[in-house]
Each structure stands twice: as structure tokens, then as C-alpha cells.
Amino acid sequence: MAFKSIQEVHLASFNSAVSSQFLDDYMNMVDKSILEKEQTMPSRTFAPSSIRCKRISWFRLRGVAPEQEVNVDRGLQFRADIGTACHHLIQSTLISNLGNDWINVKDYLTELNPPYKYTCEQLGFETRIEIEDPPIKFAPDGIIRYKDKLRLFEIKSSEHSSFVELKEPKPVHVDQIKCYGTLLSLPAALVLYQDRQYGDLKCYEFTISDSDMKSIWNMFDEVRKHVDMNIAPPKLPKGDPWCSPAHCRYFNKCKEW
């Protein structure tokens, strides 16, 4: 069997000086966009997507800058962009077919009259919500009425190998769903997973209990007390896969505490 040299593989990416230059220029544009996102300071708010770790929330509320990536990861950004595209496709399909059973999040909150001050911003299919106290920014994928019940609706895209093994919502997604359900007073949830490679789907029902909601509110209070005292809250249990450089941009700074 003959193997191509690295040089041959590289040359196969273009066939002229012009196409080579354009490819380089475009990749530089992609790298610039990724670096700009990396250098953006997180807001001093809780983020439900990382609510699983109290330490991350603690760093964010204190305004600590996350660690910068050494290398630009185009593959990671591409997977994130594919995930966003999956979200938009699913949301568009549901909005077109559910009619009044697709619930506008802003209208829902107005009717709910929650015990906190908030603002809503609609950007395409996404509703961005910012709560004043406790300080939280989040963007639920949707609220639907299905089988005569209002349900939080969340979309998650997944790598193929992970999707194949999936039998229930991933633990890190469960924490996020509990947070969303608590803030929106929605105990019933549906989580739709999509394989980013082939588009296959899996769906799981999830119920957020009263004790789950109480635990979320207690967590907000606990982290803020630790911020006031400048004492780091407990880390995730040893061996938790979420506690790794791949998932946490405060991984090395966390060791100092």
C-alpha cells in the first residue's frame, strides 16, 4: 500500500497560487473570529451551561479572566457551529408545525410574573434572558405545549460515538435543565439529541422535582456567599470528567485554590 507524504496531502488542498492564497486568507479569518471569542471576558453572572461546577460560577462572579487557549481549535469551533445549525433547523421545524403550541418565552415570562427582575432579547430563534438578582444570563431553546402540558424544550447536538452510547440525558445537561426549569418554573422537560454526523435523533423526558428547584436556589445563595467571603466553594468530586482542561477554562487557576 502506498502512503501519501505530508507534502502531497498539503498540495491536494489547492491547485494554484490563487487558490492557495484564498485558503490561507479564509483560515486566517476563521482564526481571527475564534480568537476574538476566546478573548471576550465572561459576564459576571451565573451561566446554566456550566452550573454543574460551583467553582466556575465563583470565578465568573468575581470577574476572573479564563485561561486562554494556546492553539486555535478550528475543529472545535466547527462542531459548535454545526450544533447551532442543528438548533435552528429543529426550532424552525417546530415553530412551523406547532402553531400556538410553540410558546413565546417572553410572553410566557410576562404571564408567569417571576419573583425577579429580568430583561428579554429576541435574536432569531433565540431568546436571551438576563436576571438581575441572582445575576444570571441564559437562553432556553424553547417552551412547548405537548400532551396538554407546558414543557421546557432543550436541544443538544452530539458527536456520533457519544450519540450511539446515549441512553439518557448527559449529567452535565441535566444540571443545566434543572437550572432552566427552576428559573422558568417548568418542572416538565423534553431533551432532543441530534447526531451531528448523520442527523439521527433521540428524545428523553425529564422531570425537575421541588427538591431539585430548592437545591438550585440554595446553590445560587451558596456561591454568592463564597464570593463575598473570597473563599472558593467545593470542587467537583475527584474523577468527575467535567473537571478537566477540555471542559474548564479555569482548570489551572482552580488548582491555586
pLDDT tens sequence across 109-140: 999 999 999 999 998 888 999 999 999 999 99
Whole-number pLDDT of residue 162: 93
State which residues form the domain around 104.
Answer: 48-255
CATH assignment at residue 73 = 3.90.320
33 falls within a domain: no
133 falls within a domain: yes
39 falls within a domain: no
126 falls within a domain: yes
22 falls within a domain: no
201 falls within a domain: yes
Whole-number pLDDT of residue 9: 47
Low-confidence ranges of the chain (pLDDT < 50): 1-6, 9
- How many domains in the chain? 1
CA distances 68 to 50, 141, 152, 200, Å, are 17, 28, 34, 34
